Homo-oligomer: A and B are copies of this chain.
Amino acid sequence: MLAFLGGTGPEGKGLALRLALAGEEVVIGSRDAARAQTAAEELAVLAPGTSITGADNLAAASQAESVFLTVPYEAQRPLLEQLSQVLADKVVINVIAPMVFQRGRGASALAVEAGSAAEEAQMLLPQSQVASAFQNVSAEELLDQSHTMEGDVVVCSDSPAAKELTSDLTRKIPELRPVDGGSLANAKYVEQITPLLVNINRIYKIHAGIKIVGL
**A179 neighbours in B (Cβ, 8 Å):** 200
**B-chain residues with CB within 8 Å of residue A188 when the two chains form the complex:** 109, 192
Most interface-central of A151, A154, A208, A213 (chain B CB within 10 A): A213
A179 to B106, CA, bound (A): 17
Please determine whether B154 and A181 come into contact, CB atoms closer than 8 angstroms: no
A97 to nearest B CB, angstroms?
A: 11
Cα-based distance from A212 to B154 in the complex (angstroms): 14
Q: Are A185 and B150 in contact (CB under 8 A)?
A: no
Interface class of chain A by DSSP: mixed
Give the chain B neighbours of A180 by CB distance below 8 A: 200, 203-204
A204 & B208 in contact (Cβ 8 Å cutoff)? no
Q: Is A209 an interface residue (CB 8 A)?
A: yes
A23 to B208, CA, bound (A): 33
A206-B212 Cα distance, complex, nearest whole Å: 11
Alpha-carbon distance between A141 and B183 when the two chains are bound, in angstroms = 26
Q: Is A75 an interface residue (CB 8 A)?
A: no
How many A residues touch the partner, as a band? 35 or more
| Cβ–Cβ < 8 Å partners of A193 in chain B | 189, 193
Bound state CA distance, A2 and B57, in angstroms?
58
A186 within 8 A of B: yes
**Are B182 and A214 within 8 A (Cβ)?**
no
| Minimum CB–CB distance for A160 against chain B, Å | 13
A138 within 8 A of B: yes
